[in-house]
Amino acid sequence: MTLLQFRGLTPLGTLQQRLVALLAYEKVTHYAAAQIVLNRELERQNATLCRTTSLSPNAAWEQALAERRTATRPCPPATLLNLHLALHLKRRVNADHQIDFLGQSWHIAPTKRSSITLIHHPLRQFWAVTHAPAPPINTWPEILGNYSL
C-alpha cells in the first residue's frame, strides 16, 4: 500500500493525523522512509482489537462483507479524476459571458445560465462548467471554458 492509496482509508482521519505526528517524530525526510513508517503503522492498526466488538479492522470488514453491510463503490474512471479531485465553486455569469475569478475576468462560451460551477485545481487550472456533477452519474457537464493558471 502506498501513501497515496492510504488516504481516506480510515474513518475520521484518525490514522492520518497520527501518521503526520509519527513522521515528524521520526524525522522522516524522504518517501522510502515514510513508506516504512506507514507499513509498520498499518500493521499495528490492523492488529488492534476494537474494545466494543473485539474485532480487528480487517475482521470487521470481512464480517461486514459477509453480512452485505458495505456500501463501497469503484473508483471513478481516470478521465473523471480531475472532476472529483477538485474544488467546486459557484460563480455568477456576467452579461458579456465572463466570470470573475482570482481577481480577473475570464471569457466563457455563451450560456443562458446566470450561474455556473468552477472545477478548480488550485495553482494549476480550472474549468467553467454548466453545473456541478451529481452522483450517481458523475459525468463531465458541458465545459464552457478551460484555463491553465
Sheet hosting strand 143-148, strand order edge to edge? 87-92, 115-121, 125-129, 143-148
Residue 129 in this model has a pLDDT that exceeds 90: yes
pLDDT tens figures, 17-51: 788 888 889 999 988 999 999 899 888 888 889 89
Beta-carbon count within 10 A of 26 CB: 13
Segment holding 85, helix H or strand E: none
pLDDT of residue 14: 63
pLDDT of residue 100: 96
Measured CA to CA in angstroms, residue 85 lies from 46, 55, 81, 108, 125 at distances of 27, 33, 6, 22, 12
pLDDT value for 13: 58
E strand or H helix at 18, and its extent? Answer: helix 14-25
Q: Count Cα atoms within 13 angstroms, Cβ side, for 109.
A: 10
Question: Which helix or strand (DSSP H or E) is residue 101 part of?
Answer: strand 98-101
In this prediction the pTM is 0.55
Instruction: Express as a percent the part of the chain with pLDDT over 70.
Output: 89
- Read off the pLDDT band of 11 (50, 70, 90): very low
The pLDDT tens digits for 52-105 are 999 998 899 899 999 999 888 777 788 788 887 889 999 999 999 999 999 999
Q: Domain boundaries in the chain?
A: 3-66, 78-148
Residue 93 CB neighbours (<10 A): 19
